[in-house]
Structure 1
Amino acid sequence: MPFEFENTGLEGAVLVKPRVFPDDRGFFVETYKRADFLQAGIPAEFVQDNHSKSSQGVLRGLHYQRGAAAQGKLVRCVAGAILDVAVDVRRGSPGFGKWVAAELTAANAHMLYVPPGFAHGFLVLSETAEIIYKCTVEYSPKDEGGIRWDDPQIGVRWGIKDPVLSARDKVLPLLKDAIL
């Protein structure tokens, strides 16, 4: 199998480590193979791919979609490095309010599967970073929501005090006030 699937401790969130085949020409890596993901318990059917580029210190998140529009995401960094974070926002879940983080880099080729019902965000660690992520549901503006990156109830250890945020992300509510 060209992938190692590592349990993160939060139900459904999985760190995916693909095998990279380097040679004198560069490298080859499989980034998704449906049968292998199904065998690992990730039943994702992807319908949309997104590509994002950001500068060092930019923090995007924490974002989610509600209800039937809840998205699963397979996130990978194709240039630079990010700290990728997933927060369980499924009310009634034993993991509610808990988070997991992984450093995703172009060099390590690791990916994070963020299941539906989780908020997602990332911090750019390198000068710039490019992220490609596959989504299980198309973007739905009417179903989008978010929570503050620095919510003390969640306590993500980002390692930065003053990130670069969008105007929207600056005014996101705390988890206790969010519409989930």
Structure 2
Amino acid sequence: MGGVLAPWLACLVVLPVSAVSARETPAAFPRQVQGIWYSDDAEGRARCKAFLGGLAADDGEAYNFLVGAEVIRAGMWHSYAEYGEGNFYEIRTLGKIGKRSWRVSTLTGIDTMPDPEFSAEATFRFRIDKGILTWVFESFDGTPVDSWDEQRLFRCAPVPEGMYAS
């Protein structure tokens, strides 16, 4: 009879461990940085206004005005380019480095969603201060990046429901 109970007892030992891992939450961009962001300048403000006007018109044209925007959801940062292409940064790890600043490691897809088999890893820092989001790349695929200036962005709008529905 002991031989029959052994597999069941093993399950009792394993269940609590898997229950703990099931409660772990994946890394996510902080709520205060989620949304649609444009450069903090006259051009960015004009693009935001055009995007919001397109949303209000509800004619499907709003997304044409996302080129140049940073679209940030809980698990993905999308640097929007023509036809919805651009860089897609799928969050892997997130670490707080200050009161309102973070360092993130992402799996990066260029002009496509990231694929673990073919995508590179990007690391960057970002912070939010007085409504302005600032971000700068640190490395791409393990190579330090020094050619990027800090990007300063303002939040235009929340990400519309279903924008990235699969």
TM class, shorter-length: under 0.3
- Compare the two structures and name the one with the higher strand fraction: 1
- Compare the two structures and name the one with the higher helix fraction: 2
Normalized against structure 1, the TM-score is what?
0.25
Q: Which has the higher contact order (CA 8 A, sep 6+)?
A: 1
Normalized against structure 2, the TM-score is what?
0.26
Q: Which has the larger radius of gyration?
A: 2
